[in-house]
Chains A and B, each alone.
Chain A
Amino acid sequence: MFTSSIKYRELKSKFFFYIICIFSFLAMVPLFLILWELLKKGYRQFNLSLFTETAPTSMDAMLAKMSDDLIPGGILNGITGTLLILGIAIVISIPIGIFAGVYLAEKQNSFFANLIRNLTDLLQGIPSIVVGIIVYIWVVRPMHSYSALAGSVALSIMMLPMIIRSTEESIRMLPVTLKEAALALGGSYVNVVFKVLIPSAFGGLFTGILLAISRVMGETAPLLVTALGASIVNWDFTKPTSSIPLLIWEFYNDPNLSDLVWSSSLLLLLIILVINLTAKSISKKWKIQ
């Protein structure tokens, strides 16, 4: 009686173990299917000119298709645009995000900290297109021009919650003794924050920032109404600028250019995968002891 009950339990345990294994595997299948599909459809166009030339016009593509050639041109204007827009977004969101995060970690239960924490969570839930439209009213209209800057403001708003929360978490994970020791050595509070807390939690901060970047990198909707897109390489942040997701949207809408959708998507996915893997390895290396 007793042994059979144990056997039954062991069997049950095994059964559920395998069920969980199967479902975990199923959860990963879509990623590999997506990668496979993109590789299959995108490898032909995934060449050097993808990085060195700007997007082709519909006619170039049509002529190339008629003679069965590869579509000429690449997405250089999208790559540089993504770099410019993300660069400014990082400059805007990092200081705000880190200072807000430090505040939340240091004044955990004050009224203001709770307020800010809740508002940050709400900010995370705002749909990206709504952010885009608000930034259109805040930045595009007063500046009288669609611009890379407007796109950056939209993206930085979307990056903020993640940076704030990851900063808060990493600083809270530091042992209290670290802060106490620093203060005991006579460091001023400002010094302790800047020279002990932030550097010690740097791994966590950096991971949060990288994840925030990869989260907004593929955003299209907010950029459509703020950055507009451009067919040339543009480094002027007050002018309309393209980005990789905007180009993918344009290619999708033009029957002659639709082949380029796959190689551009593949590139975007690869960049985001690399950022994610970097974030993972950094968080491992800098793990707080």
Chain B
Amino acid sequence: MKKIILLLSGAVMMLTACNQDKEGKAKLSGAGATFPAPFYNIVFKNYSEQSGNEVTYGATGSGSGIRSLKDRTVDFGATDVFLSDDELKEMGGEIVHIPTALGAVVLSYNLPDVKGLKLTAELISEIYRGKIKNWNDPKIKAINSEITFPDLAITPVYRSDGSGTTYVFTDYMSKADELWNKEIGKGKSLEFPAGIAAKGNPGVAGIISKTKGSIGYIGSEYALALNIPSASLKNSSGKFVEATTESISASANVDLPADTRVMITNSSSADAYPISTFTWIILFKEQSYNNRTENTAKALVGLLDYVIGEEGQKVAAKTHYAPLPQKAVELNKTNIKSITFNKKAINP
């Protein structure tokens, strides 16, 4: 027995000893949002191959990302919802928000032989509040004059679990429709008066593909990857816009605050798809906490530069997220420059 214990501990020590940090190579870890995880997994892998700094990411949810950073158990967190002023005060250090890509929420539907459905916020509101019950309703026809609708009941689908997707969708709806704001409001998990619930984006997509006449909101990267048709929406300038990488990027072409903490739903930009949002990486501005080395801080800044840089943004587009518009990239560059180690700026 003693021999076995000795052998085992010897083996563990040997395995770990030969893998100690080599000079100049840092190991970064992050945790948080599940929504950008497919994008992050690829872009972090590319950065690791290029720089030799290893990056690990755990997709545990936005809330967990914020808490892990607060506990200082990760080098960076990832979140789909920016930190409120109260949350910022509780973090115990100044936080930098770096938007890394944009995503959108689209309304996907299952109507045989119907293509190019157009919707407005008022129509979506009436569908989800159970006021419009059939696809051949004159109010839908009024906008989609070129489409002949079947006599088919509408089944709205919503998320049963707390989710950032629901938050972004209802944030837009509350801005664009007063009745929605009064009766349903905005939040991560809400009571819907009509329709059926499903868990997660896969659940909603599953119900839509199985149920004729259904309509539901899902992440755009999902709808695009699975090739499910989705409606074009009327934006604040009165234009009907489809969710494409360009129209989603255009949503951020508005005046952004210096710290990038902003919801860009119902954007005033003329070509914008109205239900778009940033996804952020958050980190501490002062990097010299818990015996972290300058090397680690440099690797982290290098990672951020890579993600918002040309190559990182190309990956975003390939994985069906929208790349950042120029304005956001410039703001990011300023914010990344403000990151310090021992109060000295870090040069990437």
Given the interface contacts A62-B225, A231-B56, A235-B16, does A145 sit within 8 Å of B73 by beta carbon? yes
Q: Check: A87 CB closer than 8 A to any chain B CB.
A: yes
Q: How far is the CA of A250 from the CA of B222 in the complex (A)?
A: 16
Is A239 an interface residue, CB under 8 A from the partner? Answer: yes
Whether B29 lies near A240 (C-beta < 8 A) is yes
Chain B minimum-CB-distance residue to A140:
B73
The answer, yes or no, to whether A187 is at the interface (CB within 8 Å) is no
Chain A, 226-259, contact with B by CB distance < 8 Å: what is the 0/1 string? 0011111011110110000000001001111000
Interface residues of A in 187-238 (CB under 8 A from B): 194, 198-199, 202, 205, 224-225, 228-232, 234-237
Residue of B nearest to A199 (CB): B1
Q: A residues 113-151 with Cβ under 8 Å of B?
A: 140-141, 143-146
> B12 touching A95 by the CB < 8 A rule?
no
**Cβ of B197 to closest chain A Cβ, rounded Å:** 19
User: Is the C-beta of B11 less than 8 angstroms from some C-beta in chain A?
Assistant: yes
In this complex, the member of B29, B41, B59, B73 whose beta carbon has the largest number of chain A beta carbons within 10 angstroms is B73
Report B51-72 CB contacts with A as 1/0, cut-off 8 Å: 0001011111000000010011
Are A90 and B8 within 8 A (Cβ)? yes
Enumerate chain B residues within 8 angstroms of A146, measured Cβ to Cβ.
29, 31, 58, 68, 73-74
Q: Judge whether B38 and A228 touch: CB under 8 Å.
A: no
Asked if A182 lies at the interface with its beta carbon under 8 angstroms from chain B, I say: no
B27 within 8 A of A: yes
Contact B48 A239 (CB under 8 A): no
Contact of A250 with B27 in the complex, beta carbons under 8 Å = no
A59 at the binding interface (Cβ < 8 Å) = yes
Interfacial residues of chain B within 1-19, with CB under 8 A of chain A in the complex: 1-2, 4-5, 8-9, 11-12, 15-16, 18-19
Shortest distance from the beta carbon of B228 to any chain A beta carbon, whole Å: 11
Contact of B8 among A91, A224, A236, A256 (CB under 8 A): A91
Task: Report how far A87 CA is from B7 CA in the complex, Å.
Answer: 11
Chain A residues near B31 (CB-CB < 8 A) = 146, 228
Interface residue A268 (Cβ < 8 Å from any Cβ of B): no
Decide yes or no whether A84 CB sits under 8 A from chain B.
yes
Q: Contacts A59-B319, A240-B29 known; A255 to B5 CB distance under 8 Å? A: no
Do A239 and B56 touch (CB < 8 A)? yes
Those of A140-164 within 8 Å (CB) of chain B: 140-141, 143-146
Q: Give Cα distance in the complex from A228 to B56, angstroms.
A: 9
CB pair B38 A231 closer than 8 Å: no
Flag if B73 contacts A84 (CB, 8 Å): no
Structural contact, A87 and B56, CB atoms closer than 8 A: no
A175 to B54, CA, bound (A): 56
Chain A minimum-CB-distance residue to B43: A57
Q: How distant is the Cα of A239 from the Cα of B74 in the complex, in angstroms?
A: 10
Count B-side interface residues using an 8 Å CB cutoff: 46
Q: B262 in the interface, Cβ–Cβ < 8 Å?
A: no
Residues of B within 8 Å of A239, CB to CB, are 27, 29, 56
**Residues of the A chain whose Cβ atoms lie less than 8 Å from the Cβ of B290:** 144
Contact (Cβ within 8 A) B12 A228: no
A72-114: CB near B (< 8 Å → 1, else 0) gives 0000000000001001101100110010000000000000000
Question: In this assembly, does A49 line the interface, its C-beta being within 8 Å of a C-beta of chain B?
Answer: no
Contact of A91 among B12, B34, B59, B222 (CB under 8 A): B12
| A231 to B72 CA separation, bound complex (whole angstroms) | 21
Is residue A13 within 8 Å, beta carbon to beta carbon, of the partner chain? no
> Within B180-229, which residues are at the interface with A (CB < 8 Å)?
200, 202, 205, 222, 225-226
CA–CA, A237 to B19, complex, Å? 10
Report A-chain residues with C-beta under 8 Å of the C-beta of B1. 94, 98, 198-199, 202, 205
Residues of chain B within 8 A of A237, CB atoms compared: 12, 16
Q: Is the CB of A145 within 8 A of B29?
A: yes
Known contacts being A84-B15, A90-B8, is A236 close to B27, with CB within 8 Å?
yes
Instruction: Give the distance in Å from the alpha carbon of A235 to the alpha carbon of B21 in the complex.
Output: 11
A240-B58 contact, Cβ under 8 Å, with A145-B29, A235-B19: yes
20 A-B Cβ contacts within 8 A? Answer: A58-B42, A87-B8, A90-B8, A91-B9, A98-B1, A144-B73, A145-B74, A146-B73, A199-B1, A228-B60, A229-B58, A231-B44, A232-B56, A234-B19, A235-B15, A239-B29, A240-B56, A240-B58, A250-B59, A254-B37
